[in-house]
Amino acid sequence: MIRSGIILFSLFVSATQAEAPINMTRPKVLISNPSVPAAALELLKEKCDLIVSPSDEKNSILNLVEGVEAIFWATHVKLDNEIIEKAGAQLKLIASMSAGYNHVDLKELKKRGIKLSNTPGVLSNAVADIAMLLALGTSRRLTEGRFHIERGTWGADTNNTQWMLGTDLEGSTVGIVGLGGIGQAIAKRLKGFDVARILYTGHREKSEGASLGAQFVDLDVLTKESDFIFLSAPLTNETMNMCNGTFFSKMRRTAILINVSRGQLVDQAALIGALKEGQIFAVGLDVMVPEPLPIDSELLKLPNVVLTPHLGSATVNTRNAMAQLTAKNILLALEGEELLTPVKF
Ligand code: DGY
């Protein structure tokens, strides 16, 4: 499509003898964040004119978006009607450099026939690594241990053989909510820790579940029987606040919750209550509400909470792979070809 556009444009130029810059036919692409890895920009530069927003703030994006054919979306800012409207009718694709796409107004895209791509798969291992970090950190009381060192309370009790005992992954029952790419990568890692059972829940039983030796159960069974619960399902109307007071009351008092999905899956006030009352043993969160978490949040004060600041996909290789996949989707959309990782909605 782009190539034929260039040919048509060349014919037009020779027919009219007009002097026009050759790059007038190059599609414009907005890069919503100046920190997008260079490898992706290199891919795009060959065929597109890039407009790089100096910041990922909405206003900066709004100022530059008019007339672009694709937007490389690398920010958690909401992609709403205002931005889509300002871009104009030529907008073909939103390419989000993320697996999750809850920040995108899908209804608006559908109405206007604009495509959406995301970057599943390439980040599964990195996110699963963070999930394991949180599982180990919570089960071995990482924050509490750190508090003891910082507060000078690491002392006499060390001789008590019962001091700071954690729980084991070995022999445990683990529940995974959402056995997609990330959930499967978590299950693979768990097998190396000799867990006794892997349960999972979701919309349907999956063939990958059987190959991982994981058992499909309903949410209720998973909640009641798991020693560790991993949340790796996308944020939807169905999963929003799924971990609420009722959910925590069903969990074992010795159980641990890990969330690497989106903070909104958890009713945070109910979670803080459950942690304080000892209704559950601990929580490990890579995602929370809001992000960034205010520094006076109660979550930072509790000893049975391990937090990371939404670092799931934050490794050099993973971010490069995500950026390159995003760029490839843009090039394909501009050529009128099938996307590598389209979001179906
Ligand atoms: C994603 O891509 O959706 C992840 O949350 C990034 O860490």
pLDDT digit string, tens, across residues 90-127:
999 999 999 999 999 999 999 999 999 999 999 999 99
Q: Which residues contact 64 (CB under 8 A, 6 or more apart)?
A: 30, 51, 53
Residues with CB under 6 A from ligand 1: 98-100, 123, 310, 312-313
At 20, the pLDDT band (50, 70, 90 cuts) reads very low
- Mean pLDDT taken over the chain: 93
Q: Which residues contact 323 (CB under 8 A, 6 or more apart)?
A: 36, 37, 39, 40, 74, 97
The residue ranges of every structural domain in the chain are 23-122+317-334, 124-149+167-307
Distances (CA, A) of 276 to 110, 137, 141, 242: 44, 18, 15, 20
Q: How far is the CA of 100 from the centre of ligand 1 (A)?
A: 6
pLDDT digit string, tens, across residues 293-333:
999 999 999 999 999 999 999 999 999 999 999 999 999 99
Decide whether 23-122+317-334 matches 124-149+167-307 in CATH topology.
yes
CA gap 318, 323 in Å, rounded: 9
Superfamily grouping for domain 23-122+317-334 = NAD(P)-binding Rossmann-like Domain (3.40.50.720)
Q: How far is the CA of 101 from the centre of ligand 1 (A)?
A: 9
Between vectors from CA 195 to CA 191 and to CA 198, what angle results, nearest 5°? 80
Residue 5 has pLDDT above 80, yes or no: no
- The model carries a pTM of 0.91
pLDDT digit string, tens, across residues 33-46:
999 999 999 999 99
**CATH classification (class only), 124-149+167-307:** alpha beta
Ligand 1 atom with the smallest distance to the CA of 262 is 5
pLDDT digit string, tens, across residues 51-100:
999 999 999 999 999 999 999 999 989 999 999 999 999 999 999 999 99
Q: How far is the CA of 117 from the centre of ligand 1 (A)?
A: 14
Residue 7 has pLDDT above 50, yes or no: no
Ligand 1 atom with the smallest distance to the CA of 100 is 3
CA gap 113, 131 in Å, rounded: 36
List residues with catalytic annotation: 310
Which residue's CA lies nearest to atom 2 of ligand 1?
A: 98
Average pLDDT over residues 184-207: 98
CA gap 38, 324 in Å, rounded: 9
Ligand 1 atom with the smallest distance to the CA of 313 is 7
pLDDT (0 to 100) of residue 40: 98
At 24, the pLDDT band (50, 70, 90 cuts) reads low
Amino acid making up residue 129: D
